[in-house]
Amino acid sequence: MKFEYLPNEILLDIFEYFHLRDLFQTFHNLNFRLNQLLYESFRSYSLDLRSISRYDFDIICQQYLPIILHKITSIHLADNDETPNLPQRFLSQSISVDQFTHLKSLSIHSIQSIDLIHQIIKQSQQVTHLKIIKCFCEYKDIQLINQIWSLPKLTFCHLDNLISKGVYFSELLTPSSTIKYLSIKNIICDFRSLSYVLQKTPSLQHLSTTIVCTEKFEKFPPPTNPLLTKLTLSYDGSIPSLMNLFQHMPLLRSLTISTSYLLLDGDEWQAILTDCLPQLKYFHFKMSFQFPQNYDTNDAADELLATYQSEFWIKKHQWHVQCDWNASDPFYGAILYTLPYAFHDYHYVNDSCSKSTLPNKIACQTHIHVKNLQCEHNILNHFIYSSTKFTNLSHLDLILPFNGEFLQNISTFTHLKSLDVTLLSSRDAYQQLQCLLNHTPHLYLLRFSHLSDMNEALFSLSNPSIRRLDFLNKQSMIYNWYFNTDECQALTNSILGRQCQTLIIDVQARNDVLDLVNNLTNLRSLIFQCKDDKGKQKLLSTVDDELIQWFHEHLPSTCTISRDAHISSIIQMWIR
Rounded CA-CA distance 81/65 in Å is: 24
Under 8 Å between Cβ of 324 and 350: no
For 423-458, write each residue's pLDDT tens digit. 887 778 888 899 999 999 999 999 998 887 778 889
Please give the average per-residue pLDDT across 283-293, as a whole number.
Answer: 93
Going 30 to 34 to 40 to 44, the CA torsion angle's sign is negative
- Transcribe 126-171 into DSSP letters: T-SEEEEES---SS--SHHHHHHHT-TT--EEEEES--TT---GGG
Rounded CA-CA distance 322/337 in Å is: 6
Please give the average per-residue pLDDT across 458-467, as a whole number.
Answer: 96
E-assigned strand segments in 386-484: 388-389, 395-400, 418-423, 445-451, 468-470, 482-483
Q: What is the pLDDT of residue 384?
A: 53
Determine which of 109-113, 161-165, 235-239 has the lowest per-residue pLDDT on average.
161-165
Determine which of 187-191, 322-326, 524-528 has the lowest per-residue pLDDT on average.
187-191
Rounded CA-CA distance 490/223 in Å is: 62
Q: 559-562: long-range contacts at Cβ-Cβ below 8 A with a sequence spacing of 24 or more?
A: 559/54, 559/517, 560/54, 560/84, 560/85, 560/89, 562/84, 562/85
Please give the average per-residue pLDDT across 110-131, as a whole number.
Answer: 93
% of the chain surpassing 70 pLDDT: 92
For 255-281, write each residue's pLDDT tens digit. 999 998 899 999 999 999 999 999 999
Provide the pLDDT confidence category of residue 224 given band limits of 50, 70 and 90: low
Q: What is the pLDDT of residue 383?
A: 46
E-assigned strand segments in 458-548: 468-470, 482-483, 502-507, 525-530
Provide the pLDDT confidence category of residue 523 given band limits of 50, 70 and 90: very high
E-assigned strand segments in 413-461: 418-423, 445-451
Domains and CATH numbers, the chain: 467-575 (3.30.1370)
Rounded CA-CA distance 507/96 in Å is: 38
Tell me 567's DSSP state: -
Under 8 Å between Cβ of 262 and 290: no
Under 8 Å between Cβ of 317 and 289: no
Mean pLDDT over the full length of the chain:
88
Q: What is the pLDDT of residue 206?
A: 96
Q: What is the pLDDT of residue 183?
A: 96
CB atoms within 10 A of CB 371: 18
Kind of pairing between the strands at 352-356 and 181-189 = unpaired
Strand, helix or coil for residue 450: strand
First-to-final CA distance of the chain? 39
Under 8 Å between Cβ of 400 and 433: yes
pLDDT beyond 50 at 345: yes
Determine which of 81-85, 147-151, 407-411, 445-449 has the lowest per-residue pLDDT on average.
407-411
Q: What is the pLDDT of residue 519?
A: 95
Burial status of residue 10 (CB atoms within 10 A of its CB: 0-12, 13-18, 19 or more): exposed
Rounded CA-CA distance 446/463 in Å is: 10
Q: What is the pLDDT of residue 380?
A: 47
Q: What is the pLDDT of residue 216?
A: 82
pLDDT beyond 80 at 8: yes
For 194-223, write each residue's pLDDT tens digit. 888 999 999 999 999 999 988 888 787 776
Under 8 Å between Cβ of 56 and 83: no
pTM exceeding 0.75 = yes
Residue type, 118: H
Going 192 to 197 to 203 to 205, the CA torsion angle's sign is negative
Q: What is the pLDDT of residue 293?
A: 82
Please give the average per-residue pLDDT across 316-339, as a whole number.
Answer: 90
Rounded CA-CA distance 42/68 in Å is: 10
Provide the pLDDT confidence category of residue 139 given band limits of 50, 70 and 90: low
Determine which of 93-107, 122-136, 159-173 has the lowest per-residue pLDDT on average.
159-173
H helices then E strands: how many in the chain? 18, 26
Q: What is the pLDDT of residue 138?
A: 58
Rounded CA-CA distance 571/326 in Å is: 42
CB atoms within 10 A of CB 150: 16
Rounded CA-CA distance 186/164 in Å is: 11
pLDDT beyond 60 at 385: no
